[in-house]
Amino acid sequence: MELHGHRVIYRVAGEGPPVVLIHGMVNSSRHWESVALRLADSYTVIAPDLLGHGDSAAVRGDYSLGAHAASIRDLLAAIGVDRATVVGHSLGGGVAMQFFYQFPQRVERLALVSSGGLGREVSPLLRGAALPGAAALLWLTVHPRILDALDRRGATLQARGSRRGVYLQAVVRALRPLEQPGARKAFLHTLRSVIDFHGQRVSARDRLYLLGPVPTLIVWGERDNTIPLAHGWEAHEAIPGSRFEALPGAAHFPHLEDPDGLARVLRDFLETTSPHAIEDADWGEVVGSRSPRRRALGRLR
């Protein structure tokens, strides 16, 4: 559909309560296919392409977490979805948390998969990509001949039973759209909005307490070398009542490396929790419950 004059792509499968799957950087809605189809017998699964990613428009504009969250709000409103369970992977986890913070009344549950925004550490590759001059290196990386060679290498590794082959082919699929200059610019704008040379520059840790009443699931690949597993554990400890699941066979892309495992964990979470509703009238009390002023008044009393 068109939103604000720009093409926005989303994919839908199944019928039932809505579940929104938000992809990460150098990913798209297509990368959720295996998980989405495993949930589609009981749920309406909605997977959007964030602006500048996949088949959605790459525009000159705002690629911050807040802007992506607002675009998802507009998309869901346009297709008639008022509330949903929101699942986010990597960058998409940061978008999902921002979506909850901006539009809490629209979130019934939250699931974070190898999520960004929970700590500073991130892989040297992503830190390097945020440096000035990275655009030229990115152009060399996404040259069709290089991508073809990486794709063949991934197929060879997969045929040998190596999970690295699945990972490599997923990266190639994600990089293909970056052959277009507009998509490369959108990727760099998105990356630099959340990462600099020192690591992740956006953190949700000071607001995790807000998720206390909301059913929250945190899933991580045990072999993740992109964002440390420890970020997930620390977030789990900071969110009262949250669940934590580690997938032994997955690294940073559980939806590609272990879609059965991830779908199983998500289904169990959906089936054993009740959707939560926060109304606008209650949000002030939720936010104010941990404010410095409220704590100071409590001590004076």
Catalytic machinery residues: 90, 224, 252
Rounded CA-CA distance 12/15 in Å is 9
Rounded CA-CA distance 229/217 in Å is 14
Report the 3 state secondary structure along 9-66.
Answer: CEEEECCCCEEEEECCCCCCHHHHHHHHHHHCCCCEEEEECCCCCCCCCCCCCCCCHH
Rounded CA-CA distance 235/64 in Å is 22
Rounded CA-CA distance 47/49 in Å is 7
